[in-house]
Amino acid sequence: MAYSASNASGVTITVHDLKSKPYIDLTLSVMNHFGWYVNCINHEQFVFKAADNKQSLNPITYQVEGDWSGASFLLVAGAIAGGIVVEGLDPFSTQADKAVLQALIDAGCQISIQPTRIEIAPLPLKAFHFNATDCPDLFPPLVALASVCNGVTKIKGVSRLAHKESDRGLTLQTEFAKMGVQIELVGDEMLIHGGSLIQSATVFSQHDHRIAMACGVAALVANGPIEITEAEAINKSYTNFFTHLQELGAKVDIQ
């Protein structure tokens, strides 16, 4: 973005083994709205063009997209615990975490994808295979989903989890084990043994917002209370998460 803002022209940046390509696509899409154009060649070369100063100086109206990362937890909640409607999501978005839709479809939930809303409801769920290398933030909600799917779910991309707010591979394995869910870490794959009843337990967010939300979603189908310590970690990305679960009918005691 700095190159575009400086009116650099003809500058080429070459990147090898680029990760999280959808996030790059999202950035380029936003830049394009503001008249800053970059030619992306196979996600390896990025050729910058001079910005149209006239266009960039004129005011425009831009609507920020709904957040697929936060919504993924609500969509999984709907798939395992009761039918809900989530509005404000763009099914044509370049956001990486939109890929949660494919996982939900593969798991066999009832889902209707419309231009401005997603309707989702539970059905008997089955294990699925998913590559989360380019969307590692989906690991926590997908682990909650896989926990209630019959069979062993395989999610690829564990190597992307070590340097998040916690080492999410190990954190998910540890905290979901407390709820009776066996998770294996085999190379770059996570294997979640699902289909057993989620057990009442006290879990620790490890100060990681997505771990707190994943445990909160799993708690919706537990055989008793799930206590999440340091649950205020959700404030990093989704302050109203537990309040929204309450509004959807879940029994949540927020202390």
- Out of 97, 134, 137, 208, which one is annotated catalytic? 137
Q: How far apart are CA 101 and CA 99, in angstroms?
A: 5
Answer positive or negative: Cα dihedral of 177, 183, 184, 187.
negative
DSSP codes, 56-124: HHS----PPPP-HHHHHHHHHHHHHH--EEEES--TT---GGGGHHHHHHHHT-EEEE-SSEEEEE---
Active site residue 137: yes
Residue with tokens 């099914």: 91
- Give the CA distances from residue 75 to residues 86, 112, 141, in Å, rounded to whole numbers and listed in that order: 7, 11, 9
E strands within 148-195?
Answer: 151-156, 182-186, 189-194
Amino acid in the structure at residue 207: H
Determine the Cα–Cα distance for residues 122 and 81; give it in Å rounded to an integer: 7
Question: Of 196, 148, 201, which is closest to residue 179 (Cα–Cα)?
Answer: 201
Residue 79 and residue 104 in contact, taking contact as beta carbons nearer than 8 Å: yes
Give the Cβ contact number of residue 210 at 10 Å: 30
Q: What are phi and psi of 254, to 5 degrees?
A: -100, 120
Query: Which residues form the catalytic set?
Result: 137
